[in-house]
Chains A and B, each alone.
Chain A
């Protein structure tokens, strides 16, 4: 596989490893395994940037970040004093490599993981741009299925972290999408009504049986022992348990949402401000229950019409970075900066879902920083914020003690378009290195 080859190529890499790379790989996983990364600058994202920082990694997890640290001689030292180290980036929404299925309608019971055959996937275009984790979304229209989160490389190869992270729901073509969404909600309402009716019937039946039994007992007083035995037999029968009717997989998420028991969010894909109005219209009274996570699939400047409203709800918005213009003008407008100013959380995904898009991402983000987006927010939007969205904030998204050592090594600032990714580490082990 491509990644195995990449790992081996570390041997001849530009990174100066204190011990030979051949020794690092087999020793990985031993309890006393310690790796020390001596970086030029450490971008922790959650805290301050640390110049000349050292990152101590034990058992693949970050143990300590500081400067001028002392560590045992046995530790593996990775000297990257001329490089910038940041947490592994997270792609919160990608369909890269996901071809083959064109579903439409409500398929929210499906997951991307069911379609992904890891041996056929080459994640290198993502890894080589610093993406360590990615949420894959099935192809298709309307509600194509749940997003599945993968760590794209690791000591044991790619790994499925979370099979169902969120449910993407398209509203980019309201003419068709609205009807499908409303149908899905109606189906869920019918399922809930069915379950309620089944419970009522069951309760009624139980009450009737109890009544019958009581009468039988009354009548049976002073009768023969047989009856008594029988009665005992009945008494020993454990009371019937209520079995709720089975809910079809595709209705499950919507049933959970309507019951306010959903554990994963819905992510609504919008291509224009008008789509948001149509979405609210389609959800009707249930709008609150569906949460406020959105994905802007375009950089249309007319999103300014609804950004204020999204801010009021502190929405989480996935954006494609790019310069926007106010509708029919040449006036520049920054969607991410406006979202942050309004009170939203922003997650950035590549401007288009292909290797060239992954390469263009940091350049586009740099553009946006020049037009008013803060550097901190930009960095969070590819690390901490997607980690929160995908439920990974315990293990990734920033460089802190206890989190997994997923690091990206760059030869300059990540938001300087001229810098490039030189190496990627996952769980304390180098998984990719630029061989140029």
Chain B
């Protein structure tokens, strides 16, 4: 995982929030200030008590299956560490005190009055989401807003977790996004306007930060590419051999460990002696990474399922066009799928089995318990990749919510469709401890929309990343003039004004 130095940027990062307080807050709800702000005079000590009650309100959804921790995060506490927690707790308390002493005035951000879609918990109408220093601090109806907090009155609006795009689409840079991203780029603004807050680039998960690199990288090195195409038998044999070698290696390591009469100076088997395929397989077998594969036809999908079952590792498959023909096999092998609901691969009628694409794909896979994420057609099915000014027609990431809406048209419930852009991709990437749903303690990455996420007229009003406003429709100018908050307001002077109807 890539550590970033916080000190250099925090000062500037905060400044961007200051602008929010001054800009006109939403004034749509007539009930503002009545439904949710309980006893604003209450002292801050009471707030925490309330929060304790509130926390239980956001019921957490247990993960569907045991998740392996990616590399770089502390490992699971084994039996030998049973004595440690108490001592750790003591330390943690001390740390907490230190933190409080260091930063006496935490950054509070409250979003009040909105319909809060927690994704893993209940939907709450008129609830408050309180963020503290970039993390979600409380969600509920009886959350008091502390003094000095920035408040976004989002009455009548919807709050969702920030959307996760499973493709970088040139919005964030290639390679290590923290080295290659244009943090002031237009593509980033457009992506935030589309509701995206997190993207996958190569082998890294990165937030679409505005003007800073601080905290950009969420995870890295979480995938091993698995090339197991049916039309490359030699390549498949190499992959299988890699898995066998990795399995033999693990066995020999274990044998060496249990061998009581080792000779003096005898070395355990060395990883560096393995082939590239075997080293890659080793990471998969140890659960340090998931496999990432690209497969569309039923034969390839079944082959991947067999491999995963035989060796016991997880695969995230992109494409999965014909997944609907073999959902049982995919579900049995516990694979995940990144599908394109608007895929239009025609069936070959000469084939003696069901084939081709269907809009029901995501729904069928989900019904069988397969985690599904969605992508727009651009990245994998022809031109139109990425967010571009020519892409406003809808093949690109700018309309990613419509891909989920198409999945819903194919049979997913609305809740399930929202999951395909939030918690499901977060789990596939192993970042669901921070992203993918609105839960206390997770990152304050959320979007405030004027309509339900799957509505074709939906526009993002605010996008919040790490508790800071990273996109403000009124200030950014891209969509400011489309159903404006204040019809009489002047178009922002220094913003992108020219593409969606404004006169030249």
Known: A178-B179, A285-B5. A305 touches B211 (CB 8 A): yes
Q: Which of A174, A274, A305, A328 contacts B498 (CB 8 A)?
A: A328
Q: Is A207's beta carbon under 8 Å from chain B? A: no
Contact in complex: A326, B184 (CB < 8 Å): no
Q: How far is the CA of A90 from the CA of B305 in the complex (A)?
A: 69
Q: Report B-chain residues with C-beta under 8 Å of the C-beta of A33.
A: none
Assess the A272–B184 pair: CB atoms within 8 A: yes
A278 contacts B213, C-beta separation under 8 Å: yes
| A178, A273, A302, A328, most chain B CB atoms within 10 A | A328
State how many angstroms separate the Cβ of A276 from the closest Cβ of chain B.
9
- Chain A stretch 319-346: residues in CB contact (< 8 A) with chain B: 326-331
Q: Is the CB of B186 within 8 A of A273?
A: no
Complex CA distance for A326 and B493, rounded to whole angstroms: 10
Which residue of B8, B12, B211 contacts A284 across the interface (Cβ within 8 Å)? B8
CB distance from A151 to the nearest CB of B (A): 40
Chain B CB within 8 A of A280 CB: yes
| Given A175-B180, A328-B186, A330-B504, also A277-B213 (CB < 8 A) | yes
Contacts A281-B213, A305-B211 given: A274-B8 contact, CB under 8 Å?
no
Interface residues of A in 288-339 (CB under 8 A from B): 302, 304-305, 309, 326-331
Q: Judge if A216 is at the interface, Cβ distance under 8 Å.
A: no
Q: Which residue on chain A has the smallest CB distance to residue B8?
A: A280
User: Within 8 Å CB of B178, what residues of A?
Assistant: 281
Instruction: Report how far A277 CA is from B211 CA in the complex, Å.
Output: 7
Given contacts A175-B179, A281-B178, A285-B5, is CB(A327)–CB(B211) below 8 Å?
Answer: no
For residue A112, give the distance in angstroms from its CB to the closest CB of chain B. Answer: 28
Interface residues of B in 170-228 (CB under 8 A from A): 173-176, 178-186, 211-213
Within the complex, the shortest CB–CB distance from A355 to chain B, in Å, comes to 32
* A179 vs B493: C-alpha distance when bound (angstroms): 38
Contact B494 A329 (CB under 8 A): yes
A160 at interface (Cβ–Cβ under 8 A)? no
Find chain A residues with CB under 8 A from B498 CB.
Answer: 328-330
Cβ contact of B8, chosen from A179, A287, A326, cutoff 8 A: A287
Q: Which residues of B sit under 8 angstroms from A328, Cβ to Cβ?
A: 186, 496, 498
Q: Which of B180, B181, B183, B498 has the most CB of A within 10 A?
A: B183
Residues of B near A309 (CB, < 8 A) are 12
Q: Assess whether B494 is in contact with A274, with CB atoms less than 8 Å apart.
A: no
Q: Which residue of B lies closest to A302 (CB)?
A: B184
Of B175, B183, B496, the residue contacting A329 (CB under 8 A) is B496
- Give bound CA distance, A277 to B496, whole Å: 22
CB distance B174 to A175 under 8 Å?
Answer: yes
A-facing residues in B469-504 (Cβ within 8 Å): 493-498, 504
- Could you tell me if A327 and B496 are in contact, using CB atoms closer than 8 angstroms? yes
| Interface assignment of B4: CB less than 8 Å from any CB of chain A | yes
Q: B9 interface residue, CB < 8 Å from A? A: yes
Q: What is the chain A residue whose CB lies nearest that of B5?
A: A284
Contact of B184 among A274, A280, A285 (CB under 8 A): A274
Q: What distance in Å separates the Cβ of A194 from its nearest Cβ neighbour in chain B?
A: 25
A285 to B5 Cα, complex, angstroms: 8
Contact B494 A326 (CB under 8 A): yes
Complex: A327 Cα to B184 Cα, angstroms: 9
Number of A residues with CB within 8 Å of any CB on chain B? 24
A278 to B184, CA, bound (A): 11
CB-CB under 8 A from B173, the residues of chain A are 175
When the two chains form the complex, which single residue of A174, A302, A327 contacts B179, counting CB atoms closer than 8 Å? A174
A333 to chain B: closest residue by CB: B494
Chain A 88-104, CB-CB to B under 8 Å as 1, else 0, gives: 00000000000000000
**With known contacts A175-B175, A331-B494, A272–B182 Cβ distance under 8 A:** yes
Within 8 A of B (CB), among A168-189: 174-175, 178-179
Chain A contacts for B211, CB-based, 8 A: 273, 277, 305
Minimum distance in angstroms from A236 CB to a CB of chain B: 53
Q: Is the CB of A331 within 8 A of B493?
A: yes
Q: Which of A277, A278, A284, A304 has the most CB of B within 10 A?
A: A277
Shortest Cβ distance from residue A292 to the other chain B in the assembled complex, whole angstroms: 14
User: Hey, which chain A residues are within 8 Å of B494, CB to CB?
Assistant: 304, 326, 329, 331
Task: Give A48 to B495 CA distance when docked, in angstroms.
Answer: 40
Q: Which residues of A contact B174 (CB under 8 A)?
A: 175
Contact of A281 among B5, B12, B497 (CB under 8 A): B5
Alpha-carbon distance between A385 and B192 when the two chains are bound, in angstroms = 41
Residue in B7, B178, B179, B182 whose Cβ sees the most chain A Cβ within 10 Å: B179
Could you say which of B176, B180, B184, B495 contacts A273, with CB atoms under 8 Å apart? B184
In the assembled complex, the Cα of A362 lies from the Cα of B12 at a distance in Å of 36
Interface pair A278/B497, CB less than 8 Å apart: no
Q: B180 — which chain A residues lie within 8 A by C-beta? A: 174-175
A277:B504 contact, CB within 8 angstroms? no
Minimum C-beta distance from A335 to chain B (A): 14
Contact: B9 with A280, CB < 8 Å? yes
Task: List chain A residues, Cβ under 8 A from B176.
Answer: 175
CB-nearest residue of chain A relative to B214?
Answer: A281
Nearest-CB distance from B201 to chain A (Å)? 12
Contact yes or no, A179 B179, CB < 8 A: yes
Q: Which residues of B contact A281 (CB under 8 A)?
A: 4-5, 8, 178, 213
CA distance in complex: A346, B174 (Å): 34
Q: A326 CA to B495 CA in the complex, in Å?
A: 8
Name the residue on B nearest A284 (C-beta): B5
Cβ contacts A255-287/B at 8 Å (1 or 0 each): 000000000000000001110011011001101
| Beta-carbon contact of B9 and A274 below 8 Å | no
Q: In the complex, A237→B185 CA distance in Å? A: 68
Within 8 A of B (CB), among A145-197: 174-175, 178-179
Which chain A residue lies CB-closest to B188?
A274
Whole-angstrom distance between the alpha carbons of A246 and B185 in the complex? 44
Interface residues in B135-184 by Cβ distance below 8 A to A read: 173-176, 178-184
Chain B positions 439-482 with a Cβ under 8 Å from a chain A Cβ = none
Asked whether, in the complex, the Cβ of A305 is within 8 Å of the Cβ of B179, the reply is no
Closest to B209 in A: A277
Measured in the bound complex, the distance between the Cα atoms of B188 and A272 in whole Å is: 15
Name B212's closest neighbour in chain A (CB-CB): A277
**In the complex, A390 Cα to B227 Cα: how many Å?**
56
Binary contact track B354-390/A, C-beta < 8 Å → 1, others 0: 0000000000000000000000000000000000000
Distance of B83 from chain A, by nearest CB (Å) = 37
Report the minimal beta-carbon distance from B323 to chain A, rounded to whole angstroms. Answer: 35
Shortest C-beta distance, B53 to chain A (Å), equals 41
Cβ contact within 8 Å between B8 and A278: no
**Closest A residue, CB atoms, query B190:** A328
Nearest chain B CB to A281 CB, angstrom units? 5
- Closest residue of chain B to A275, judged by CB? B182
Q: Which B residues are CB-close (under 8 A) to A326?
A: 494-495
Inter-chain CA distance A81–B301, complex, in Å, is 87
Task: Return the chain A residue nearest B185 by Cβ.
Answer: A274
Cα(A300)–Cα(B497), bound, Å = 18
Docked Cα-Cα span, A327 to B175, in Å, equals 25
In the complex, which residues of chain A have a beta carbon less than 8 angstroms from the beta carbon of B4?
A: 281
Task: Add 15 more A-B contacts to A284-B8, A328-B498 (CB < 8 A).
Answer: A178-B179, A273-B183, A274-B184, A277-B184, A278-B213, A280-B9, A281-B178, A285-B7, A287-B8, A326-B494, A327-B186, A328-B496, A329-B495, A329-B498, A330-B504
CB within 8 Å of B: which residues of A?
174-175, 178-179, 272-274, 277-278, 280-281, 284-285, 287, 302, 304-305, 309, 326-331
A-B pairs with beta carbons under 8 Å apart, 20 shown: A175-B173, A175-B179, A178-B179, A272-B184, A273-B183, A274-B181, A277-B9, A277-B183, A277-B211, A280-B9, A281-B178, A285-B7, A287-B8, A305-B211, A309-B12, A326-B494, A328-B496, A329-B497, A329-B498, A331-B494
Q: Which 6 A-B pairs have the closest CB atoms?
A: A175-B180, A274-B182, A328-B496, A273-B184, A274-B183, A302-B184
